[in-house]
Structure 1
């Protein structure tokens, strides 16, 4: 019988690429991860890793085993969810991941509703960039989270996660005037930290308009971005949720660019009572926002 814990390490190696990254994510030492993967090779009787110096790559047999592992983990998650439905009151910890601009309009009313309807549920919120969410969900540091993608920055499906549409927003050009995007080919730009989806959007949307943006400032909080725009420090892309309280003098020009937000959770956990309650509360918060 194969050890699920060892299979999970192999799955994480497939996603993260290095043994060091797996060790850091799951609180192992690199040597412990290597030992567990070597033991898994003995158990399977198949070569799973190709080692070249300090680098390792997965063999075709390992990639097939990873695909089966995703299916197995989803079955185990569904079994756990089914057992949890037998309880009459929701208890335990529910860990929710959210990006900053969703906190006031979506997360806050959702957790107020969850706390009121399920007082036995211990809610823990983590603010993080959506690019970090898949790793956090697979590593079981989160139970449900908001993920997003922009036009020009599509996100590949993760076989270990399930997603469902939640919100669709318009992206605006924030500037001191109402000029079109192409008029800012020589302007200074304000973008997110490199590696974030917002940074990638700035690069790709400008390139699609025929120029490479000259990024002067990096800021991940849209309030800070708008303050910099108001101060004449550059222009930026800002989605609907980030435009609240825009300072005087900032002109928001709607663009044919959309940001799409999805709910994400591990495969098989959508029916868990706590995750299902969070899905309901987050959807209700979005629906209420649309009615205001």
Structure 2
């Protein structure tokens, strides 16, 4: 019902280049260029201007994008109204999120949905290395559980609706033989001289370490790095550094490490949020998914 070439323009704005937009939309670059030329001719305005080998959206194209975001949000609502005439709980729900959220929040929420709505089709993924906001924008997922960063879209972004889900404390992970291993809790400001491992996703988890250490008055000396928590715990266990570990991340039992709660003003937490396409919460499966995620998050919070 909405000219699909508007979606092509939205994705080009998000990705920055014709080639990247084509990849996200599973089209060829020439098809993307052709669609944008057709849209420009239809509207009688220039949408792109050349900057060397790249293209930049014109002011008119940026104005058109603001209308396109409103149109797509309204279309999500219209589509949801039509879906209400069917049994919405039999629809498909796709959820993605960071690994710890997938394990501790998304999977339990999906289990609740499967028990309550056995006809609902559930698809879950970690989508590691993907921009989860882009997955939403291009329709490849319905709910994303993410950790907001300075690069995340602002709360008033007309394309997305973001809701707080859970505040997750960070613990300190050290080898069992480390002098800190016997501590009941510790202030981050007391351990500035330690060697650190860059643990987890560098876009969010490592940024959390840098921000927390800066608040505690030091810059961490980072040596080794890993993303998978099994590998991270192994590095710590063998004495190659210490790290922050999210409260929801499990510690494999075969490794000899100590997990210590952090205290003080600089004790870091990370905020998990749910993100959907604005207006899409009127779809029954998405509404049920958000409800189940909030229910699991409340249970985790009550259990400490």
Q: Same fold (TM over 0.5)?
A: yes
Q: Decide which moves more: 282-291 or 116-125.
A: 282-291
**2-side partners of 1:214 and 1:83: how far apart?**
56
Where does residue 95 of structure 2 map in the other structure? 96
Question: Which sections of structure 2, spanning at least 5 residues, go unmatched?
Answer: none
- In the other structure, the counterpart of 1:155 is 152
Q: Measure, in 1, the Cα distance between the counterparts of 2:291 and 2:200.
A: 32
* Count of equivalent residues: 289
Mean CA deviation greater in 71-80 or 169-178: 169-178
Once the 2 structures are TM-superposed, how far is the Cα of residue 57 of structure 1 from its aligned partner? 0.9
* C-alpha distance in structure 2 between counterparts of 1:122 and 1:32, whole Å: 33
2:127 counterpart residue number: 128
Is the CA contact (8 Å cut-off) linking 2:12 and 2:18 kept in structure 1?
A: yes
Q: 2:242 aligns with which of 204, 217, 235?
A: 235
RMSD of aligned residue pairs (Cα, Å): 2.5
Partner of 1:144: 143
Which SS does the other structure have where 2:7 is aligned? helix
Q: Is the 8 A contact 1:182 1:209 kept in 2?
A: yes
CA shift digits 1:22-51 (9 cap, x unpaired): 011110111111111111111111111111
1:206 pairs, out of 191, 213, 232, with 213
State the 1:142 CA deviation.
0.2
In structure 1, the residue matched to 2:257 is: 249
Going from structure 1 to structure 2, the CA distance change for 1:127 and 1:115 (only over 3 Å counts) comes to same
The answer to whether residue 280 in structure 2 is matched with residue 283 in structure 1 is no
Which deviations, in whole Å up to 9, do the C-alpha atoms of 1:164-220 show, x marking residues without a partner? 111011222323425653455453322246752112223343344444433322222
- Does the Cα contact within 8 Å between 1:129 and 1:196 map onto a contact in 2? no
Q: Distance in 2 between matches of 1:154 and 1:167?
A: 20
State the Cα distance separating 1:154 from its structure 2 match.
Answer: 7.0
Q: How does 1:96-115 map to 2 (within 5 A)?
A: 96-115=95-114
Shift in CA distance, 195/24, structure 1 to aligned 2, threshold 3 Å: farther
| DSSP-derived class of the 1:189 partner | strand
Q: Mind listing any 5+ residue stretches in structure 1 that lack a counterpart? A: none
Q: Distance in 1 between matches of 2:215 and 2:29?
A: 42
Name the residue aligned to 1:265.
276
| Aligned 8 A contact 2:98 2:128 in 1 | yes
Q: Does 1:224 align with 2:250?
A: no
Deviation at 1:123, TM superposition (A): 0.7
Note if contact 2:88-2:285 (Cα within 8 Å) is conserved in structure 1: no
> 1:230: how far off?
2.1
TM-score (norm 2): 0.85
Correspondence for 1:85: 84
The SS at the match of 2:248 is helix
